Each structure stands twice: as structure tokens, then as C-alpha cells.
Amino acid sequence: MDFGLTEEQKMVQDMARNFAEKEIAPYVEEDEKNHYYRREILTKMGELGLLGWSIPEEYGGNGMGWMEGVIALYEIAKVHTSWRLSISGNCWGPAMTINEYGTEEQKQKWIPKLLDGTWAGSFAITEPNTGSDVASMKTFAEDKGDHWLINGTKTWISGGHTSDVGLLYAMTDKGKGAKGMSCFIIDYNNTPGVQRIPMEDKVGMYAAPTSELIFEDAVVPKENLLGGLNKGFFICMWQLNNTRMGCAVGGAALSRACLDGCIQYANERYQFGVPIGKHQMVQQQIAEMILEDEAAKQLVYRAAWLKDNKLPSQKATSTAKLAGCLASVHAANLAMKIYGSYGYSNEYPCGRWLRDCKQFETLEGTSNMHMQIIANIELGFAPDR
């Protein structure tokens, strides 16, 4: 595998970097302080084609693949990791899943507006008592003949109360576990019986909206079933193998943000008459960050390469996600040490890095679950899909 960037990929990188520096960077601290989601950024991302990775051009895709998407998202997430969720919420989640499992009518209706930023997207899996054990969910969709009637609660849903359209996973055959789950496309602006509650009291990710969704006799059209009755568990696992790339890239990018900040600070801060970067212990910490950052980024590239070449990528995706998580958490901890007392103030971004890195240990599968996925595939207990 050759990970040297092509001229086109360098152009994508430059475009994404310039966008992040111009449209996101000026508002990071203000939006963090106010817990503010700046919706117009999503629209601008759509206008530039930053939401259309690996989707056919006939539905509004940008004609480029996973590698280009990873390169672009890395530049965006490095500036503010909250905005990595937009690509997962719109492209690698709903749009890609509808493209894979939807009818032609569903593709034409839903995908273009997700990719051009007209609509914000989401997907709802987690429930108050359902996390890693996806098949234990209780949200139930009852077939009422001419529509579905949905009841249940979803929680920790990224973009749940700000999205226009999203995927909802619910049971359609009680008692059958994974074999009784289905996937639905939800038009949140036109679906009665849905209450969407912002979850403001979070440790981090302040500029990324998180929600609780309550479905009380929510009426959903029959044609909004995606991929067939009771096929939801397989669809969910397929989707997670894609959206987890957003976490993998986000972790690697946050690790790099910490590293860049520490390098700058270590050259500016003087102690004992020299920049602190001259001291061996600081150099050791910088070296550790470089090692883990480079490893995480290369693992992300490898997973993207496998996906672009239609090769099994589940193990590679979980490995990249876990590596990004470990790199970002370690880097954020080391940044607090290198910045010293200033790292504990809001004058510098160390606190934000530390708060935001912890998401990667839980979202899109806990670190424990990804270790299990990796080990089971390597041991031959599960196939690599």
C-alpha cells in the first residue's frame, strides 16, 4: 500500500484545511463556552462536497472515496473534533446505508439533501438500558397495516434534536433478538409522536448536539422501512463498520492537535534558561505522542484503503478506532503535563482536548468491544467482513 497522497488528494487536504481554519477555528472557543451548534457550518460543508464521500455522483456524491474522506475529515476534526460527527451523521451513516440497502425511490428522496447539507442527519441505536448489547433494545415498531406505530426511547443520539432525517433501529418481532430488528428512515420534521430532548449536561463535545428521543405512538409510513423486515441487525452492524471510521479519524486527529499544540508550547515556554522542549522528559513525552499519532493515522489510512478496494475491513476499522482512541487519550493526558499549570486553565485548549478524547472510549462501540472484535477475528472465531 502506498499512502503517498496524489495531487487530487492534496487538493482535498488543502481545501478541508482551509475550510476548517476559516469557518470553524474562529468560533471554537465561543461555541465551546456557549455549547453552541453552528448549523450553517454543515450547510457550507455540503456546498463544498465535504459530505459526499463514497456515494455515487447520481445521488449527489463527490466522486471520491474513503481515503479522500478520511483526509478531509482529519483536517476538520484536528481543528474541532465536534465537527467530525457531521460526516458520520450525514454521509457515512444514513446516506451510505440508504445507498446500500434502499430502494431507488428511497435513494432519490433522501440521499441528495443529506449530501448537500440541506438536511442534517443522525442514527438512533442506543437506549437507556441498551449499549453494547444492541439486540436487547426495547423500542418497538408495530405494523398497523398502512403505517408503523413506534414506541420507545433512544438516548445519547448525536444530532438527535437538530437532525431533519435519521435512521432508527427498532424491534419488529419481539422475542427474536437480533433476528427481530428492523431499520426505519425517520423524517423528524413530519413525524408526529416524537419528542426530542437536548442533553446539555455532558463532559465534553460541547458544540456537538446530543439528544434523548422519545417515541410515543409515532406514525411512520410503511415505505420508510429500510432493507426489509427484520434485517435491521445486519444493517446496523454494516453501518457501524462505516461510521466507526469517523471515530477512528477523530481520535487520530485529536491526537495530532494535542501534539501540534505541545510542540508549539514546548518551543515557547522557557524554564532553566532554555525552551522546555530541550528537557529530556518533555522530549520523551513528545516522542511518545509522535509514535502513537503516526500509528493511529496509518491504521486509519489502511482501513480506508481496504474499504476503497472492497476488501474485508471490520478488523482494520476496529483496530483504527481503538488506536485513535488510545492515542488521543494518552496525548491529551501528556498535554496537561507539558503545559503544566496553564494546561489546567481555559487559556489553552488542554481541557477541551481532555474532555473530548474520552468520547472515543465509548462511542460507536466501547474500547472493550473493539478489543473483542479484533481478537475474535484474529483467532478465527468470527469472519472479517
Is residue 306 within 8 A of residue 245, CB to CB? The reply is: no
Which DSSP helix (H) or strand (E) runs through 182? Answer: strand 181-187
Give the burial class of 109: count Cβ atoms within 10 A of its Cβ; 0-12 exposed, 13-18 middle, 19 or more buried. middle
Q: What 3 state SS string does 157-171 have?
A: EECCCCCCEEEEEEE
Report the distance separating Cα 322 and Cα 292, nearest Å.
11
Distance, in Å, from the CA atom of 77 to the CA atom of 89, rounded to the nearest integer, reads: 14
Please give the Cα distance from 57 to 248 (Å, whole number).
25
Percentages helix, strand, coil for the chain (3-state, rounded to 5) are 60, 15, 25
Mark whether 364 is an active-site residue: yes
Check 40, 294, 364, 378 and give the catalytic one. Answer: 364
**Cβ contacts of residue 164 below 8 Å, gap of 6+?**
113, 118, 119, 120, 121, 187, 188, 189
Catalytic site residues?
Answer: 364
